[in-house]
Amino acid sequence: MLQTTLLALLGLSVGMALHFRWHPLRREFSDAWDFLRLRQPLVLLTAGCLVFQPMATRGLNALQDWPELWQPLLRDAAGETARLFHELAPPWPLALGLPLLLVLLTIRVWRWPYRYGERVPVPEQKLVLIGLSAAGLLWLGLEAAAWRTVYPEWLETLKLAARTLFAALTTAGLQVWLVRLVVTWEKPPDTEAEGDVITAVEATFARWQSVVLLGAFNLLWMAWHSWRPDEIGAAAWLLPEFWMLFAALPVAVAVSSGRTAFWLTGAVALKALRRALPALVGYLISAVAVMMLARYAAEMAQALGGADGWLAWIVRGLSALALAMLRGWLCLAAILVMLRHGFSRPFPAAPAR
């Protein structure tokens, strides 16, 4: 039975490779792979975060029971694929670096105000930046002290709430930064490619107000997902649609001028999602299928490698690396699909008066 399952897995892999060879969106998938090959640290960063995330594994016997397996596997693959629009790399422990970036942003906005806006920031904007920076440093201190100190319940709850908040902001920043990196790669401003990462960071800083508001939207779906992560009813099938509704919002924030009202950015995102919907449906069918195949292969490898021992850690690391490559490839392909099929028209700088 195991030999038959492995042969079927091999046959499906060959079939998926041929499928992408003649896919209507093969240019987007090919360009996403070319981009990923040039940005290998992005794969290593994602893989490092995935190692810290517990992966649900099934027993070897359960992995061979296809009549009972295919529905939960399809649901998990659909949810993870839809979540790629918002979360390429798990935000924890990446969020630990956010307070330092907030301090850097605050200093740069105060020192070069016109670089990050049309005018000098008003006192309310300065208070928001100072408050986020101070809260981030305080939270970072709590996380550092938690290694040696057992907090009371109320302080532990406060720490976890702050972790969720800064994880949402980290996710928003990564979304906008990644789209700006793709835009810079696709339409480079000059012939030097070494500064693309810094250029994308500067572009993300210039949109910091929209990134903060985008973090509030991320907080909504992250809270929903973390509140009932093991939901198996109708909500589990509706959750990917909820994620898809906001799929184009990070892209709209990234391609906007940075001075556009957030409500107008959201309206443009919905219009772009409507224009790109046929292409996104074609993308999703293929992406969910390959995600199912990859998740099944990763779970099979971990089941064969065992739960403990050095072999289990090797298998876990290799699985995280393979899934990181797949997630990066599919996420970049989705960004290219939305950019090319949804945002082909010029983005409005401001509403008409």
Q: Which residues contact 234 (CB under 8 A, 6 or more apart)?
A: none
Comparing 46-55, 141-150, 330-339, which segment has the lowest mean pLDDT? 46-55
Task: Find the mean pLDDT for residues 292-312.
Answer: 71
Q: What is the mean pLDDT of the chain?
A: 77
Q: What percent of the chain has pLDDT over 90?
A: 0
pLDDT tens, position by position, 209-219: 888 888 888 88
- 90: tokens are 């798990």
pLDDT tens, position by position, 164-180: 888 889 988 898 988 98
Question: Is residue 51 predicted with pLDDT exceeding 50?
Answer: yes
Task: Find the mean pLDDT for residues 115-119.
Answer: 64
Question: Is residue 349 predicted with pLDDT exceeding 80?
Answer: no
Alpha-helix residue ranges (DSSP H) falling in the chain:
2-21, 26-38, 40-51, 60-63, 66-83, 91-94, 98-111, 123-145, 153-186, 196-206, 208-227, 234-245, 249-255, 262-305, 310-342
Which sequence spans correspond to the domains of the chain?
2-342
Question: Is residue 282 predicted with pLDDT exceeding 60?
Answer: yes
pLDDT-derived band at 348, boundaries 50, 70, 90: very low
Question: Is residue 184 predicted with pLDDT exceeding 80?
Answer: yes
How far apart (Å, rounded) are the C-alpha atoms in residues 321 and 299?
Answer: 14
Reference 169, options 201, 114, 211; nearest CA is 211
Question: Is residue 309 predicted with pLDDT exceeding 70?
Answer: no
Task: Find the mean pLDDT for residues 211-232.
Answer: 73
- 146: tokens are 């938690």
Question: Is residue 58 predicted with pLDDT exceeding 70?
Answer: no
pTM: 0.80
